[in-house]
Amino acid sequence: MPEEFGDWDPEIFEKHGREVISQIRGHFEKIRDVPVAVPRDPAELKSAVAADPPETGELFERVLADTWEKVVPGLVQWNHPSFHAYFPTSASLPGVLAETLTAALNVNSMLWQTSPAATALELVVLRWLAAMAGYPQDADGLLVTGASLANLYALAAARDHALDFDVRERGTGGPGAPTLRIYTSDQAHSSVDKAAITLGTGLANVVRVPSDEQYRMRPDLLDEAIRRDLAAGFRPLAVVATVGTTAVGAADPLERVAEVCAGHGVWLHVDAAYGGLYRLAPSLASTLEDLSVGDSVVVNPQKTLFVPLDSTALFCRRPGALARTFRLVPEYLTSAHDGDTTDLMDLSPQLGRGFRALKVWWVIRTFGRAGLAARLDASVALARRLRERVDRHPDWTCPAPSAYPLVCLRYTPEAVTADPRLSEGRKREITDALNARILRRVNASGTAFLSHAVLRDGYVLRLSIGNIRTVGEDVERVWRELDRIAAAELAEPTGTTAWTDPA
């Protein structure tokens, strides 16, 4: 066949495929030896890979070599055992292989008839995930691209439920249309705000209910806010509770929030993107509240179950609610329904959908429920040990508790906190700058990658544990490095941490 036509010969594919797999193996075998991240000049990075598209095909060996030489070193290694930023979305190796097969099959699970087994498998893994999260297994559900979109879709269904006219036909405005309000805590993820922007509800109508001293939504203040709004003529669209907040890993008191929602007939959406699947961990199972109080719930296997990006499950136990909002079938997508079939395109705005279920299925089957539980438990134990170390250190604190393996750390050296020349405000300012500087330095060192949050106590380093490869020694090394950098920064303050300068 002339070179200009057709695909690779399968033999060539296998040859290169073996090479790629072998390089992936090498990558994982050496992953502890490479920096988690290396700060690079953006212009240099862009120019390293910027070239005109080649007119004629290049040797794959060259493409592969460029990938490892020019691209991979400029990535942040999310699979590195010392990646502790945000929430670790580490990919397990069965998940990596599943992605390859998924690409090879390249099926689109928009309709039952476009890929029956893909839809059937998605329904199976959804049932499994629902059971793991403690949500009704017969709830409607689907796999979506991330928790932000899951929150948006759930709130779209909640909006249509809240309005007593045909929103699909008429839109949300018009004479007599009430102003809708979404209630969530001051700790909720920004995707709730983005959903309000997208749905046309408006940021002004996202009511941020204050959280308590442990960063959990205050149900009494939620109740007050809803009552006040009802009296003023607003219409509650939904309450969004969070199980595993982004900044500190707090869990809103679901049962009491659900009581408030039930009292006002308001939809409760539970964003359990981070915390939901930790129900599997035996050490946490009894402390986590029942997710089934949520009318809709999101859990994120990509965050906690070692399934590669992207894979998020949205569930809704109000039968047909997602379909009432999203089902729209143009002629070309009509199909015969023989037997009990489901067209997953009916449950979200997305039409073409990849075969995400395969990787979830492979990962769960490969490790088993108990294997996953043990891995989650191991992360919880590592975080507990780290917290104990931090609590014993006179110059570090953990300003926020969390049941989950997310440790918020703040360097609060006595040299600053006990300096009589400094006002309280100045102490905080200096400590904030010191912690920000520690974060920059540790991330720049390549030994670990952390993120930050700003809490009531001030700026904290967030060290989130949950990577499938992280072991005790890794956490110990990061902790020692943080303490070393902090002491160095205190001894030789740089930039804004020139703390000896009294106010």
Ligand X SMILES: Cc1ncc(COP(=O)(O)O)c(C=O)c1O
Q: For residue 191, state whether it binds ligand X (rule: CB under 6 A).
A: yes
Q: For residue 273, state whether it binds ligand X (rule: CB under 6 A).
A: yes
Q: Which stretch binds ligand X (CB under 6 A): 110-118, 146-154, 172-180, 258-266?
A: 146-154
The residue count for binding ligand X (CB under 6 A) is 15
Q: For residue 153, state whether it binds ligand X (rule: CB under 6 A).
A: no
Say if CB 142 and CB 109 are below 8 A apart. no
Q: How far is the CB of 398 from ligand X (least distance, A)?
A: 19
C-beta of 82 vs 242, nearer to ligand X? 242
Which string of x and - marks every residue 73-102 that binds ligand X (by CB under 6 A)? -------------xx---------------
CA distance readout (Å), 376 to 7, 276, 304: 42, 12, 8
C-beta of 362 vs 404, nearer to ligand X? 404
Q: How far is the CB of 312 from ligand X (least distance, A)?
A: 5
Q: How far is the CB of 251 from ligand X (least distance, A)?
A: 11
Report the C-alpha gap between 384 and 467 in whole angstroms. Answer: 15
Q: Which stretch binds ligand X (CB under 6 A): 5-13, 99-107, 141-149, 283-291?
A: 141-149
Q: For residue 148, state whether it binds ligand X (rule: CB under 6 A).
A: yes
With b meaning 16 or more CB within 10 Å and e meaning fewer, what string describes 478-487? Answer: bbebbbebbe
Q: How far is the CB of 345 from ligand X (least distance, A)?
A: 20
Structure tokens at 124: 């199976």
Helices (H), 106-241: 116-133, 147-162, 167-170, 190-199, 219-231
Structure tokens at 194: 């983005």
Among 300, 379, 443, 464, binds ligand X (CB under 6 A): 300
C-beta of 274 vs 499, nearer to ligand X? 274
Q: For residue 211, state whether it binds ligand X (rule: CB under 6 A).
A: no
Q: Which stretch binds ligand X (CB under 6 A): 41-49, 178-186, 224-232, 241-249?
A: 241-249
Residue with tokens 């719930």: 297
Q: How far is the CB of 489 from ligand X (least distance, A)?
A: 28
Q: 449: helix, coil or strand? A: strand
C-beta of 280 vs 422, nearer to ligand X? 280
Q: How many other CB atoms sit within 10 Å of the CB of residue 99?
A: 20
Say if CB 480 and CB 402 are below 8 A apart. no
Q: 183: helix, coil or strand? A: strand
Question: How does strand 312-316 pair with strand 296-299?
Answer: antiparallel
Report the C-alpha gap between 307 and 301 in whole angstroms. Answer: 6
Report the C-alpha gap between 395 and 390 in whole angstroms. Answer: 9
C-beta of 190 vs 286, nearer to ligand X? 190
Q: For residue 189, state whether it binds ligand X (rule: CB under 6 A).
A: yes
Q: Which stretch binds ligand X (CB under 6 A): 11-19, 168-176, 266-274, 432-440?
A: 266-274
Among 118, 143, 147, 400, binds ligand X (CB under 6 A): 147
Q: For residue 251, state whether it binds ligand X (rule: CB under 6 A).
A: no
Q: Which stretch binds ligand X (CB under 6 A): 48-56, 74-82, 140-148, 425-433?
A: 140-148
Q: How far is the CB of 87 from ligand X (least distance, A)?
A: 5
Among 122, 140, 271, 295, binds ligand X (CB under 6 A): 271
Among 83, 112, 153, 274, binds ligand X (CB under 6 A): 274
Number of H helices, E strands in the chain: 17, 11
Report the C-alpha gap between 252 and 183 in whole angstroms. Answer: 13
Say if CB 155 and CB 195 are below 8 A apart. yes
Q: How far is the CB of 311 from ligand X (least distance, A)?
A: 9
Q: How far is the CB of 304 from ligand X (least distance, A)?
A: 11
Structure tokens at 434: 């010191």
Hey, what amino acid is at 389?
R
Burial of 89 (0-12, 13-18, 19+ CB in 10 A): buried
Q: For residue 308, state whether it binds ligand X (rule: CB under 6 A).
A: no
Please, which of residues 371-400 interact with ligand X by CB under 6 A?
Answer: none
C-beta of 311 vs 412, nearer to ligand X? 311
Q: How far is the CB of 195 from ligand X (least distance, A)?
A: 10
Q: 305: helix, coil or strand? A: coil
Q: Give phi and psi for 138, each to the nearest 5.
A: -95, 10
Nearest Cα neighbor of 479 from 380, 379, 356, 396 is 396
Please, which of residues 311-330 interact with ligand X by CB under 6 A?
Answer: 312
Report the C-alpha gap between 83 and 105 in whole angstroms. Answer: 32
By the criterion CB under 6 A, which residues form the site for ligand X?
86-87, 146-148, 189, 191, 242, 244, 246, 271, 273-274, 300, 312
